[in-house]
Chain A
Amino acid sequence: MISKWINGNDPRSPRLRPEIIRLVYFREMRDQLRDRRTVFSIAVVPLVLYPLLGMLLLQIAQFTREYPASICVVGADHLVGLDAAGAQVPPLQTSSTIEGSDALFAAGLVPDSTKLKATFFEWNQIGHQPIARLKPIESPRRQPRGPVTASTML
Chain B
Amino acid sequence: MIFVQNLMKAYDDLQRGRFIAADGVSFNVGEGEIFGLLGPNGAGKTTVLRILSTVLAPTSGIVRICGYDVIADATMVRRHIGFVSNNTAIYDRMTAFEMVAHFGRLHGLPKNVLTDRVDDLFARLRMEDFRDTPGAKMSTGMKQKVSIARALIHDPPVLIFDEATLGLDVLVARNLLEIVRDLRDSGKCLIFSTHIMSEVERLCDRIAIMHHGRILDMGTLNELQGRHEGENFEELFFGLLSRHESNTLQSPERDTAGMFA
B68 touches A11 (CB 8 A): yes
B113 touches A31 (CB 8 A): no
Q: Bound state CA distance, A76 and B215, in angstroms?
A: 111
Q: Bound state CA distance, A27 and B95, in angstroms?
A: 12
Q: Bound state CA distance, A11 and B75, in angstroms?
A: 6
The residues of A that contact B51 with a CB separation of less than 8 Å are none
A9 to chain B: closest CB distance in Å?
A: 8
B74 touches A2 (CB 8 A): no
B93 touches A13 (CB 8 A): no
B93 touches A14 (CB 8 A): no
The residues of B that contact A13 with a CB separation of less than 8 Å are 75
**How many A residues have CB within 8 A of the partner chain?**
21
Tell which of A8, A9, A23, A34 touches B106, judged by Cβ atoms closer than 8 Å.
A23
A123 to chain B: closest CB distance in Å?
A: 82
The residues of A that contact B32 with a CB separation of less than 8 Å are none
Q: Bound state CA distance, A34 and B99, in angstroms?
A: 14
The residues of A that contact B157 with a CB separation of less than 8 Å are 1
Q: Bound state CA distance, A5 and B154, in angstroms?
A: 9
Q: Bound state CA distance, A31 and B135, in angstroms?
A: 12
B75 touches A2 (CB 8 A): no
- Is A35 located at the chain interface by the 8 A CB criterion? yes
Q: Bound state CA distance, A23 and B111, in angstroms?
A: 14
B73 touches A2 (CB 8 A): no
A34 touches B109 (CB 8 A): no
Tell which of B76, B107, B155 touches A11, judged by Cβ atoms closer than 8 Å.
B76
A5 touches B108 (CB 8 A): yes
The residues of B that contact A6 with a CB separation of less than 8 Å are 79, 107-109, 154
Q: Bound state CA distance, A27 and B79, in angstroms?
A: 21
Q: Determine which residue in A5, A8, A27, A35 has the highest number of CB atoms from chain B within 10 A of its CB, and name it.
A: A5
B94 to chain A: closest CB distance in Å?
A: 7
Considering the complex, give the chain A residue whose CB is closest to the CB of B134.
A34
Chain B facing A: main interface SS: loop
B113 touches A5 (CB 8 A): yes
Considering the complex, give the chain B residue whose CB is closest to the CB of A13.
B75
**How many B residues have CB within 8 A of the partner chain?**
22
Tell which of B68, B93, B94, B110 touches A5, judged by Cβ atoms closer than 8 Å.
B110
Tell which of A2, A7, A23, A34 touches B154, judged by Cβ atoms closer than 8 Å.
A2
- Is B184 located at the chain interface by the 8 A CB criterion? no
The residues of B that contact A1 with a CB separation of less than 8 Å are 155, 157
- Is B131 located at the chain interface by the 8 A CB criterion? no
B155 touches A2 (CB 8 A): yes
A2 touches B79 (CB 8 A): yes
Tell which of A8, A20, A35 touches B93, judged by Cβ atoms closer than 8 Å.
A35
B152 to chain A: closest CB distance in Å?
A: 11
- Is B102 located at the chain interface by the 8 A CB criterion? yes
A11 to chain B: closest CB distance in Å?
A: 4
Q: Bound state CA distance, A6 and B91, in angstroms?
A: 25
Say yes or no: A2-B76 contact (C-beta < 8 A), given A31-B93, A34-B93, A35-B93: no
Considering the complex, give the chain A residue whose CB is closest to the CB of B114.
A5
The residues of B that contact A5 with a CB separation of less than 8 Å are 108-110, 113, 154
**Which 7 A-B residue pairs are closest in the complex by CB-CB distance?**
A34-B93, A11-B76, A6-B108, A2-B154, A14-B75, A11-B73, A31-B93
Q: Which A residues form the contact surface with B (CB < 8 A)?
A: 1-3, 5-9, 11-14, 19-20, 23-24, 27, 30-31, 34-35
Q: Which B residues form the contact surface with A (CB < 8 A)?
A: 68, 73-76, 79-80, 91, 93-94, 102, 105-110, 113, 154-157
Q: Would you give 15 A-B contacts (Cβ < 8 Å), ordered by A?
A: A2-B154, A2-B156, A5-B113, A5-B154, A6-B107, A6-B154, A9-B76, A11-B76, A12-B75, A13-B75, A14-B75, A20-B106, A23-B106, A27-B102, A31-B91
Please name 8 further chain A to chain B contacts, defined as beta carbons within 8 Å, in addition to the given A2-B155, A12-B73, sorted by A numbering: A8-B108, A9-B76, A11-B75, A13-B75, A23-B102, A23-B105, A24-B106, A31-B93
